Amino acid sequence: MNPAIDLFCQFDSFEPDEVNRSYYEEYQANGKGVNVSFVLRKMQIANTATGFLGGFTGDFIEETLQNKEIATDFISIDGITRINTFIRAHKKEYKAVNQGPMISEQSQHQLLEKLAILGTKDMLIVSGSLPQGVPEKLLVEIAELSLRKGFKLVMDISSDIMLECLTYQPYLIKPNDEELATWLKTPALVSTAAIIGAANELRKKGARNVLVSRGEKGTLLVTAQGDIYQTTAPQGKVVNTACAGDTLLAAFIGSLEKGESIAEALIYATAAGSSTAFQPGISDLTDIEKLRQTIELKIGRN
């Protein structure tokens, strides 16, 4: 719901109070939901991007999506869609992420009206932060709507409001290990057993499937049937962590939509997420076969 233009820059060094000149820069239509749309399209899966857009930056994002043959159904707002900046210098990465424009109650109501037409054959992926003016309760309204209308709901959000959304049994949620610990008010989850236990707690609260992104430690999935899937992560030089989780999620959902098994979908998704982490922008998916050969899969059961 809160798209952005992301500016990726690379510097030899980045020092305060000095003019730092980049040797590389790239502007990308972005935001977590937009990233998901891009990856699904790369997998030849038709999808529609929606949310709130405004100003010249909003025009850039919508045109970029349409040029990639992605359908759009955004709500036009006053204000300017945000620009985020990601700076890489030596082994450090700096992230400047803005709030986004103020969204009126009328625009929020328009979004709910669009989502109300979804039905049992549809899936909605809600990903990322909320722009200014949008209360977290809107996420609960969307979750309730999914249960009432019967469409599958996938959620990738950081807010504690996720716990209220679980009442409405979302199809899949994608936290990382830090978010798991925050939601359940526990110390840092260091061991795999602790993460599995936390994922099971969220299943008890209503989540049907819990996909946990663990960065260099790989990926963990606990399914509605109680099966536990774990993958290792490929090794490589990390360049961009900003979009890796979005790629992972989209690749997993996309693989399932194409009829792949859960095991194959998780291996593919882990490879895709790593591929994005190893380059400045979103992966073009051309190196997936090579990366997936390095991934180990373990399957267990609660």
Which residues are designated catalytic? Answer: 246
For 59-84, b/e burial (b = at least 16 CB within 10 A) is ebbbebbeeeebebebbebebebbbb
Residue 145: C-alpha distances to residues 1, 152, 160, 164, 262 (Å): 16, 10, 19, 13, 27
Report the C-alpha gap between 134 and 119 in whole angstroms: 24
CA distance 61 to 17: 32
Residues in the chain: 302
- Spatial CA neighbour of 174 closest among 142, 202, 205, 134: 202
Alpha-helical (H) ranges within the chain are 32-42, 55-67, 105-115, 137-149, 162-165, 177-184, 192-205, 244-257, 262-277, 288-292
CB count in 10 Å sphere of residue 114: 14
